[in-house]
Copies of this chain bind each other. A is one copy, B any other.
Amino acid sequence: MKDIKHFLRQNSLRPTKQRVIIASYLFDGVNKHVTAETLSNKLLKMKAGISLATIYNTLHDFYEKGLLKKLMINSDRIYFDTNTEHHHHFYSKKDQKLIDINVDMKVSGLPKPPKNKKINKIEVLVHLDN
């Protein structure tokens, strides 16, 4: 509890009740992929009713501070990833679930980017069938 408040302060975020609850869930040491909806459901199960507006605000605040990564994989929801290292994913459309690929992968045969463009990052998404 003390460490989470300290952690939030270190990231220029006021340790409000809601932020402490959300941060202690998200940053408990186990990497997670959440959407606003899955996070809201999880918080409800923990008897912590936090408004959707606050959930969206908090996810974006954490993202702006670099504590979360945003994943645009799906056209109808934004995933937030507590693993901020560069990594890749398995994705099961059926389960709407992401699984980290933490091993080093190499992409070979990449062509040059178009004129005046620089490569920012390479993302590999491995779609699963079932």
Contacts and interface: CB of A to CB of B under 8 A. Distances in A.
Instruction: Give the interface residue-count category, chain A.
Output: 35 or more
Provide the main secondary structure of the chain A interface: strand
A29 interface: no
A77 interface: yes
A117 B92 contact: yes
A37 to B, nearest CB: 13
B120 A129 contact: yes
Contact of A105 (B109, B118, B127, B130): B109
Interface in A88-130: 90, 92, 99, 101, 103-111, 113-114, 116-130
Interface of A: 72-78, 90, 92, 99, 101, 103-111, 113-114, 116-130
